[in-house]
Structure 1
Amino acid sequence: MIFRGRYSVLFSFFASFVICSFLVRTGLLVISLPKTNFSISAVLSLYVLGFAYDFAVALFLVCIYNLYLLLLPSKWTGTKGDKIFTYTWLCLLLFISFFSFFAEITFWQEFESRFNFIAVDYLIYTYEVINNINESYPLPLLIGGVLLAVLFLFWMFSKMKVFITAFQEKLPFQRRALKSGVILLLTIVAPFVLSNAMAESGTNRYQNELSKAGIYSFFAAFKNNELSYNDFYSLLPKDEAYRVIRSELKEKNSRFLKEGNSIKREIINPGPVYKPNVIMITVESLSADFMEHFGNTQHLMPVLDSLANHNLLFTNMYAAGTRTVRGMEALTISAPPTPGSSIVRRPGNQNLSTVGHIFEQEGYHRTFYYGGDGYFDNMNEYFGSNGFDITDRGRSIKLGDTYHTKRTIIGNNQVHFENAWGISDEDLFDAVLRGSDQQYKEGKPFYNFVMTTSNHRPFTYPSGEINLPSGSGRDGAVRYTDYAIGKFIEHLKLRPWFRKIVVIIVADHCASSAGKNEIDISKYHIPCIILNLPHDGRQVISKMCSQIDLYPTLFGLLGWNTRAICTGKMF
């Protein structure tokens, strides 16, 4: 039997890992059943492919121990050193395995996906991630559960006499070479015959994701996180590509400023020019279906629903991506998402032709406000290198004078509530009011980009503000965010500069992007409201559009003529 002899520990771990992976996959399948319809053949298919991935991961995990068994002389079998190495290796591998299973479940709860590039990106920001996990889950109990699971398997292996047989058999090198050689050959061959993309060929996204294995997906994402654009994407010749995009962007009220390979345009917007101060509140994970205007019956956002009744509402706007940096990318440069990493996170993203640059040309002071540490996702670097001052809850080293921007840290005495991701939306809006008041006193028109954090796991917020307890889930966080926006608007109305302020409320992305299909368009539907425009009263823009079209539309409503490189259109 494979569970008897020198290789018994290796094969016992191998079998345990595959069985536990099967149980995790089954649990995630059960969670997903209400959201999609699986046929029997689909379920069988995802289990067969899933077994292949689990088998491959188990091969990688036992690789070092396999080489150890091959190279350790028979005379040292069962010695104290052999036992110490074996027990340590097994304990470490079991702990990593069980912890990864727990991490997969939590990641699925947030993204309904196996590990992907988001998990890879999050490794950089250990403070936010570790504290978010600690605040969202009873981490001591979970770590304790992982340790108990490790001890349980040790006990099971002991009862099965796995260790006794492993330390008793003196296996000759030739027989070890045969066993280890087969395992090593399978380990080498596995990544060549089993790519993570094999699980992405179906049309049912849940089936695709459930087929995968978390660890395998993680390393695939790590490997492919920085693909060479020219090497891995099918490209049109540059001249043809520019002809296509120029044809798509051609509008009656615009003209290209250069011939050939350029999309820089001048857009003429007739009508009276209005230059208000502008504050854009970019709300974390604000799906359209949180509002009654889009079918919600839970009364989660009474403030936004009321504002939508008396201001400009986009009823058919869609997010450009599934992460905050994708929303920022779309809202700051009016361009669709680029393959690979977001422009916000890429090197060489300074001095771009941004929306902020258009405000700069009109004499506006620009500030980026964030409730967390703007080091996260390279936000401070991106906004700072494109002319914005920074106000955030910084823990990282302050920006230097490289980009001639000022950074203001929101101090402890200005914070009444804080969690892993940042300060409460109320505290953030108070910082916006303080900064805007100062800019008004200095006689500077201002454009402020505000990024909230309260509607993010662990979904905690100040107690007593709303009728849902802090940390109770997404519904409470949505309701609190709505409350904080309402409070902010009330404070705005008391300012002397309220009569000349336009406020934009828009989402960075939806709360969840997972669906039955690879791209479920309903999971990208977001609300957008523009308040206090010169022409008061309810207005509706019902044409299908995206975040990239927001500012071209706003500049048209304000009567601005603009020159920029952008692909958004006015609606």
Structure 2
Amino acid sequence: MFQRKIKPFLYLGIFYLIISLILRIIFLLHPITTVSFGFLEITKVICIGLLNDIFVFTLASTLLAAYFLFLSNSKYKKPYGYINFGILVLFFLYILLIPNNIFDQYGGSVTEVVLAFVGVKIIFFGLMLFLPSKRIKIRNILYFIALLLYVLLIIFNAVSEYFFYNEFGVRYNFIAVDYLIYTNEVIGNIIESYPVVPLFLAILIATLAVTWFIYKKTKDELLELPNFKQKMILLGTFTVLGSISLFGVTSCMQIRSNNVFADEIENNGLPKFYWAFTHNELDYLQFYPQISQQKAEKNFLSLYAEPSLSRNVTSEQPELKKNVVLISIESLSADFMKHYGGTLKITPFLDSLADRSIMFTNLYATGNRTVRGLEALTLCIPPTAGESVIKRDDNKNKFTTGSVFKSKGYDVKFLYGGYSYFDNMQDFFAGNGYDIVDRNNFKPEEITFANVWGVADEDMAKKAIQTMNAEAKSGKPFFNHWMTVSNHRPFTYPDGRIDIPGTAKSRDGGVKYTDYALRKFFEMAKKQVWYKNTVFVIIADHCASSAGKTELPMDKYRIPAMIFSEGFIQPQKFDKLMSQIDIMPTLFGLLNFNYTSKFLGQDVFKKEFQPKAYIATYQDLGLVKDGYLTIISPIKKIKQYSLQLESSSLAPEFRLYYHEKLMKHPDQKLVNDAVSAYQSTSFWLKEKKLNR
């Protein structure tokens, strides 16, 4: 009898394992998986993956086990059935009518969700209580719904994981958590990027077919409900298996190798999502290697001419109160541009502008998200473990590029074509003294095209010119930070602007359209009276993709950057290694600004500048220095790679790809340099020493 009761679990489990295996094989063969696997490594990935899936399904199936535990006919017998029904009704009325009930304390939609759940429970309980002859049919309907939800979750999760891997080359992480929070933008992005109707129709058909098959094979198990003894066996079995599986999932997540893709593919997305959801900030001192705080700060601050967190930056030349326009471009990898070795000819304007600018040929983004790029350009600090400062609660009153400009009498604004509440940008920039111009400031007639991420970049360009003209009339210099949006999936834009139609939804088209919009912006700007007194900083926020052979693939962090000002900036190429956090201190140096700095980036034209770059994910923190990439990770792990440019006939500034060779014995000085930078930054943020 008991063996028959576990048939639903067996059918669902086998289905889940098959789907997971298919998904794992797809990941192994996916073009984004830029590493080859030997037979033994494939076997390891499949075996550990299978173990992971068994553990995850066991934990997930405890809900189905609970469903079987509560199957009973006795709860409908007189008078208990009527008492239970009355309690449910009273509970429903309590939630509905009593203000500030216990569920209201949780805020959000908790009360509505509980109310709906109890309401549905009352309906089905009442039907089974008052229509005993229909009880089996009603129970079968509920059982079918339970199976349907499980099958739908299995299929939908597999599809979601595929598209997530297709975009980022990893299983679920912080980005997936963000996507749940910003549902409007994400759902809109999905609708505009993929054939949603056929996709969801296929998911629905597959779900119904699989559910019906399992239901037909197992529905007879409900004709005879489990007795008390069988329920206790079921409870005991799942208590033991659940405990083992919880330990197993945790242990499997700790298995790491030198092959990042292998680690990701053998993992299971659901526990990774849970981990990301519960670890959006990582305590550096708890998870990462460390040295004494005094030693860390002394070592890190030795980089600067004045070894102090607050340093006086002075110039022998008079300050130049030029307007500054900082344009951070969405997802612009260096190799999109001809000047960085690109061959697609999709950035003709930016390439022409680079010829007339200071072009930084060896610059690396701090992360792989927009908020990391904004953090680097605004706070000029190395990235820290967990979420960007922009997304944290303590994100206000920081020492920022905007605060330096404000101290010089500038108008300071953040310009964004979308709704700036996304990614907490509005809270961060407003909380640090920036005025904000975003989609809320557009009149309907000012928008010629928009998608879920915001108005087209050319519409934002026109709004930017309008904003700058108004600022110039005030007689004050201005600093505007403009974040573009069009080079983002779904890569849609107005037709007729470039030779790639917006309906193609291609990244190449998105890049080329943004380049077109920037050309239009500069054509309009050149006609304005403030143009010749303005410095333009153009830089990417991050690369288009972050997937690679190692935790931090160098080529996936290299971004283009240039500083342009007609009649002021003399064209040159700066080819020393540098970080995204060095750009704004370098600009302040070009403007001869005198100020007290807490920036951790450096002016690259100062003699004390030391070539280096900080690159990171939400958990792997890297320092590139002296030909090595040193990575520190949770559980106090340390890895170091020697870096060699892959042989090529191209000039060094065009070579994008490094061969990263794992070192058996890391250079301890470089390890200490990496630890010092990240430990000090994390400590100063926690102690609010990087505030104004």
Q: Which moved more, 1:184-193 or 1:36-45?
A: 184-193
Q: What's the offset of the Cα at 1:98?
A: 1.3
**Preserved CA contact (<8 Å) 2:164 2:172:** yes
Q: 2: CA distance between counterparts of 1:298 and 1:23?
A: 34
Q: What's the offset of the Cα at 1:451?
A: 0.5
Q: 2: CA distance between counterparts of 1:517 and 1:228?
A: 24
- Map of 1:462 onto structure 2: 494
Tell me the number of residue pairs that the alignment of Structure 1 and Structure 2 aligns: 545
- Map of 1:437 onto structure 2: 469
- Map of 2:149 onto structure 1: 92
Give the alignment of 1:366-515 within 5 angstroms. 366-394=412-440, 409-472=441-504, 473-515=506-548
- Map of 1:10 onto structure 2: 9
Q: 1: CA distance between counterparts of 2:226 and 2:318?
A: 90
**Preserved CA contact (<8 Å) 1:323 1:508:** yes
Q: 2: CA distance between counterparts of 1:519 and 1:229?
A: 19
Long gaps (5+) in structure 2: 76-127, 129-134, 605-692
Q: 1: CA distance between counterparts of 2:226 and 2:569?
A: 86
**Preserved CA contact (<8 Å) 2:32 2:166:** no
- Map of 2:281 onto structure 1: 226
Q: What's the offset of the Cα at 1:31?
A: 1.0
- Map of 2:58 onto structure 1: 59
Change (3 A) 1:509 1:144: same
Q: What's the offset of the Cα at 1:163?
A: 2.3
Query: CA offsets, 1:474-531, max 9 Å, x none?
Result: 0110110111111111111111111111111101100001101111011000000111
Q: 1: CA distance between counterparts of 2:252 and 2:575?
A: 37
**Preserved CA contact (<8 Å) 1:53 1:216:** no
Q: What's the offset of the Cα at 1:171?
A: 4.6
Q: Which moved more, 1:177-186 or 1:346-355?
A: 177-186
Q: Which moved more, 1:446-455 or 1:238-247?
A: 238-247
**Preserved CA contact (<8 Å) 2:532 2:566:** no
1:558 aligns with 2:557: no
Aligned-pair RMSD on alpha carbons? Answer: 2.2
Q: 1:541 aligns with which of 562, 574, 588?
A: 574
Q: 2: CA distance between counterparts of 1:555 and 1:105?
A: 44
Q: 2: CA distance between counterparts of 1:196 and 1:117?
A: 21
The one-letter amino acid paired with 2:218 is V
The one-letter amino acid paired with 1:181 is G
Query: CA offsets, 1:178-202, max 9 Å, x none?
Result: 3442233222232223227736611
- Map of 1:178 onto structure 2: 233
Q: What's the offset of the Cα at 1:233?
A: 3.9
- Map of 1:405 onto structure 2: none
1:111 aligns with 2:143: no
- Map of 1:404 onto structure 2: none
Local SS of the residue matching 1:463: coil
Change (3 A) 1:200 1:55: same
Q: What's the offset of the Cα at 1:418?
A: 0.6
Local SS of the residue matching 2:247: helix
Q: 2: CA distance between counterparts of 1:126 and 1:263?
A: 40
Q: 2: CA distance between counterparts of 1:485 and 1:567?
A: 30
**Higher relative CO (CA 8 A, sep ≥ 6), structure 1 or 2?**
1
Q: What's the offset of the Cα at 1:302?
A: 0.8
Query: CA offsets, 1:518-547, max 9 Å, x none?
Result: 110110000001111654442111110011
1:288 aligns with 2:334: yes
**Preserved CA contact (<8 Å) 2:281 2:385:** no
Q: 1: CA distance between counterparts of 2:246 and 2:167?
A: 28
Query: CA offsets, 1:34-60, max 9 Å, x none?
Result: 621112222111111211221122122
Q: What's the offset of the Cα at 1:79?
A: 2.7
**Preserved CA contact (<8 Å) 1:32 1:206:** no
Q: 2:192 aligns with which of 132, 135, 141?
A: 135
Q: 1: CA distance between counterparts of 2:58 and 2:195?
A: 32
**Preserved CA contact (<8 Å) 2:144 2:215:** no
- Map of 1:68 onto structure 2: 67
Long gaps (5+) in structure 1: 257-261, 395-408
The one-letter amino acid paired with 1:346 is R
Q: What's the offset of the Cα at 1:231?
A: 3.7
**Preserved CA contact (<8 Å) 2:253 2:267:** no
Q: 1: CA distance between counterparts of 2:439 and 2:55?
A: 43
Q: What's the offset of the Cα at 1:469?
A: 1.3
**Preserved CA contact (<8 Å) 1:196 1:220:** no
Q: What's the offset of the Cα at 1:80?
A: 3.3
**Preserved CA contact (<8 Å) 1:202 1:208:** yes
Query: CA offsets, 1:49-80, max 9 Å, x none?
Result: 21122112212221111123234348899933
